Structures are given as structure tokens and as C-alpha cells.
Amino acid sequence: MSSSRQHNSGPELDGPEVPEPSHAERAKTLVYLQQTGSLSTLSRKQPGWPFGSVMPYGLDAEGHPVFLISTMAMHTQNLLGDPRASLLVTPPESRVDPLGAARVTVMGSVTKAPKEENAEIRARYLDRHANASYWVDYQDFGFFRMAIAEIYFVGGFGSMGWVTPADYVAAAVDPLATASANLIHELNTEQSETLLRLARTLGDTEVQQATVTALDRLGFHLRLTIPGRIQGGRVAFPTPVCNESEVRDSLAGLAAQASAGLQVLHSL
């Protein structure tokens, strides 16, 4: 007889909730950090079928995706027939652990941007895609913008939810956004033993590996490798951090607190 297992299963938690950014904040941060996604449009040639395209994108002042596309492109022809589309955005680490990494699907209607907004949109787009200056003035190219209808955010195993356009627009990009990738690499390579001791002290003593999968101003997510399962968890910083030095100091403080038996807010 076979038995079923649920991912991210572990001991029941009855302590205080561990603070973390909202799905709206995490979604906006991810969209801000990346520059290319997968745009799915509705095919004109095969009605009702989705058509996927690799798509560089920019952002307007509120965070709506902006595209510089040619009328000759199939995705543009699809959008002119039906503006409904979705943009899937994933981080680089998804190539290593696609299901454990965060991702966001932005759904909305993609239409030609108003001419009076082209100057601002152009400047913001070229700031992210300098090479596009070589073809931005071609007659068949133009700026299109997605009016967001809904967003679905997945933060990894067991973390997911819908985000409204209003919450997304109001959300701020995390202050560690541009530093997080380097910090995560540093923690996983140079502080792996500290992370492992912290995970064993706070959670299961049989943890074999503890890997940081996401980091923000309020704390960090861990993927724990335990015999028979992989478990996700989160550890909160004692106070919000806003730069790399504060992250390093906070991790050292957390390890010392845990070793001394002092309370560390966590869900492992």
C-alpha cells in the first residue's frame, strides 16, 4: 500500500505569525527586478489557443508592463485581434529550482499606449533596454501597455495567492531588491554552516541542508532538506533591514540568539 505525502509538511506551528511582505509587495519586487518574461496571447490563426512569446518588458510609473513590439510579430497581431494576455515572470534561480522559486503571472489587456505618454514610456523602457534604441524608431514598432486585471503570485512551495491591481500599484519595491540575489548567494556559500546550525536549533535536528531561497527586509525563506522530505520555512529578522551590512549583522545575531536559547521568530 502506498501512502501520500504533502509538500511542505512538517510539525504544526502554534507560535506567533512570522512577518513577511505581502504578496503584492513580493510580486511588484519580482516584476521590477526582471526585464524579460513569457507573454501569452490568444492566437488568431488557431482561435482559443494560447501563443507564447519571449518578451522584454518595461514598466510605467505604476508598475504596469510596457512592451515595444512590431506589427509584423505574431504576438502583436494576436493582441490586435484580442488584447487579453498574461505575462509570466520568473527569477534566474528558477532554472535551478523552478518549483521552489517565486513567480508571478500578470493578466490584463494589452493595447497601444497613448501618444501623449510615449515620451515617458520610451525613456523608462530604454533605461531598462538600452539596445532597443537601435529599433525603437522603426515605423513598424510601437509601445503597448498592459492594463492589469489580476495577478497571481507564487512564492514557492505552499505560498500563493491572488493580488488585486490596486494592491499591486500601491505596493512598494523591497529595499533589498537589487541586493538580494548577491546576498542569497553569499549566505548560501559563505554562511551555509551558520544557516544549518540555525535551522537545526530552531527546527528539526535532522536537517541536512538549509538553503536561503528568498530574502527581504523582514526576513528570509529557507528550503530545508530533511530525510524523507523537503520543507519550507521562514526566519524573521529582529528588526527590518535595508542594506547588506544589516543583513549580515542580523544573521549573526539570530544565530547567537538561537544558540543561547533566546526566542527567534520563525516557522520551521
Angle in degrees, 0-180, between the axes of helices 244-259 and 192-202, rounded to the nearest 10: 40
Rounded Cα–Cα distance for residues 20 and 159 (Å): 12
pLDDT in tens, 115-127: 999 999 999 999 9
34: burial class by Cβ within 10 Å (0-12, 13-18, 19+)?
Answer: middle
Extents of the domains making up the chain: 23-170, 180-267
Residues above pLDDT 70, as percent of the chain: 93
85-to-43, 52, 62, 92 alpha-carbon distances in Å? 10, 10, 19, 23
Which pLDDT score, from 0 to 100, does residue 203 have? Answer: 81
The answer, yes or no, to whether residue 73 has pLDDT greater than 50, is yes
Q: Do domains 23-170 and 180-267 have the same CATH topology?
A: no
Q: Where are the alpha helices (DSSP H) in the chain?
A: 23-33, 74-81, 118-128, 165-170, 180-190, 192-202, 244-259
pTM, entire model: 0.85
pLDDT in tens, 128-162: 999 999 999 999 999 999 999 999 999 876 789 99
Rounded to an integer, the average pLDDT of 92-105 is 80
Task: For residue 231, name the pLDDT band (cuts at 50, 70, 90).
Answer: confident
Instruction: List all residues 6 or more positions away from 22 whose beta carbon is below 8 Å from its beta carbon.
Output: 167, 171
Task: For residue 264, name the pLDDT band (cuts at 50, 70, 90).
Answer: confident
107-to-39, 58, 96, 201, 228 alpha-carbon distances in Å? 10, 15, 26, 42, 37
CATH number (2.30.110.10, 3.30.70.560, 3.10.20.30, 3.40.1260.10) of 23-170 reads 2.30.110.10
Q: Which three cell numbers stand for residue 192?
A: 551555509
Which of 13, 21, 22 lies closest to 240 in space, CA to CA?
21
CATH topology of domain 180-267: Split barrel-like (3.20.180)
Rounded Cα–Cα distance for residues 141 and 250 (Å): 48
Rounded Cα–Cα distance for residues 155 and 243 (Å): 22
Strands (E) across 113-171 are located at 141-156, 159-163
Rounded to an integer, the average pLDDT of 95-101 is 74
Which pLDDT score, from 0 to 100, does residue 266 have? Answer: 84
Q: What share of the chain is helix, strand, coil (3-state, %, to 5)?
A: 30, 30, 35
25-to-14, 72, 231 alpha-carbon distances in Å? 26, 36, 24
Residue type, 177: A
